[in-house]
Structure 1
């Protein structure tokens, strides 16, 4: 099942306080036992609710995990956008994009290995929250390219969508959590060297 986590996650009452209580308890439970090893029945026992009551708010375990994943991706995006906010040039924005994506992804998803299960499953199965996050990264890349082209920092001959896609594919191992686990050892070095190489290729 791959329903939209943000639009189809609830059944019955829209009681945000109870939904938040379920999400908070699920975050702790997943963090302790792991996402794939936890069932909705396990969550119900941990929270003190019935399984049927949880299903009034979330129609699956994936829906609960999707909210947690969305929240963490939003935290990452907030860190990335803050890092880029005062960059003096498009080139510096690109450098900060690579660095902040790498650092924030590592910190937020791998501080607790059990919670990484959610990110790995979400990335592997391309949950809507992951697709939206990747789309936002593509948009940021395109904005940086446009700014750099207008300022004369970057060449203008290569089609914009082609350049955007190429840069995203280079960055994707550090955006996609399922891939990031295999690139952690080199993440810091890559965050320095990859944008440098890209910027040389973008020079007018």
Structure 2
């Protein structure tokens, strides 16, 4: 299951998905032109042609709209990671492909579309539910890979599993967190391979 859900309350009115999608799509376009910070719900209402009160039937705040956009984007990254991991046959290769897919997909989505980066940066910086769910999902995948690697004798078993997964996730942070990724774009070609090698050496039995 690769879908990232936001726990921020989003809908207050009828469960009309087409209207919600219309609001999210229009908001994304507005954010791309004016930025997330400078956009208000009133601005969105004028741009979309809805009343502010009508938008509030579906989303309780500007953040809730941003959350919906962010959750969609993070779900695409998780789906790419899941696909990459599924095509590997060993835990070692699964980890390599996880890291590579995460970085490549994040760069493609966030930095080819600045509105997505803007919203993702807010999500990470302010600890939005979608960002927290994304981090939890990546750590769960890491947990599964490390556990399988231990069962198959590829990885050491002395270090507590939670500690190992947490340490690996810390190593990945400069490339998993969009706030940090922007400062490491010149290294995205070689970093996933080099850091994967470092992590895998530390996991050797």
Q: Which TM-score bucket, shorter chain as reference?
A: over 0.9
For residues 106 and 182 of structure 1, the distance between their equivalents in structure 2, rounded to whole angstroms, comes to: 12
Runs of 4+ in 1 over 3 A off after TM superposition: 4-7
Equivalent position of 1:119 in the other structure: 120
Count how many residue pairs are aligned between Structure 1 and Structure 2. 201
Equivalent position of 1:19 in the other structure: 20
Q: Does 1:43 align with 2:48?
A: no
Greater Cα offset, 179-188 or 150-159: 179-188
Equivalent position of 2:83 in the other structure: 82
Equivalent position of 1:61 in the other structure: 62
Equivalent position of 2:168 in the other structure: 167
Shift of 1:156: 0.7
Equivalent position of 1:139 in the other structure: 140
For residues 57 and 113 of structure 1, the distance between their equivalents in structure 2, rounded to whole angstroms, comes to: 25
Shift of 1:112: 1.6
For residues 156 and 147 of structure 2, the distance between their equivalents in structure 1, rounded to whole angstroms, comes to: 10
Equivalent position of 1:29 in the other structure: 30
For residues 80 and 169 of structure 2, the distance between their equivalents in structure 1, rounded to whole angstroms, comes to: 18
Shift of 1:32: 2.0
Equivalent position of 1:194 in the other structure: 195
Question: Where does the alignment leave 5 or more consecutive residues of structure 2 unmatched?
Answer: none
Structure 1 vs Structure 2 CA RMSD = 1.2
For residues 115 and 96 of structure 1, the distance between their equivalents in structure 2, rounded to whole angstroms, comes to: 24
Judging changes above 3 Å, is the alpha-carbon distance between structure 1 residues 5 and 156 closer, same or farther for their aligned structure 2 residues? closer
Shift of 1:115: 2.8
For residues 143 and 181 of structure 1, the distance between their equivalents in structure 2, rounded to whole angstroms, comes to: 28
**SS of 1:19's equivalent?**
helix
For residues 116 and 141 of structure 2, the distance between their equivalents in structure 1, rounded to whole angstroms, comes to: 27
Judging changes above 3 Å, is the alpha-carbon distance between structure 1 residues 97 and 14 closer, same or farther for their aligned structure 2 residues? same
Shift of 1:42: 1.2
Shift of 1:7: 5.2
The 8 Å contact of residues 142 and 160 in structure 1, kept in 2 or not, is answered as yes
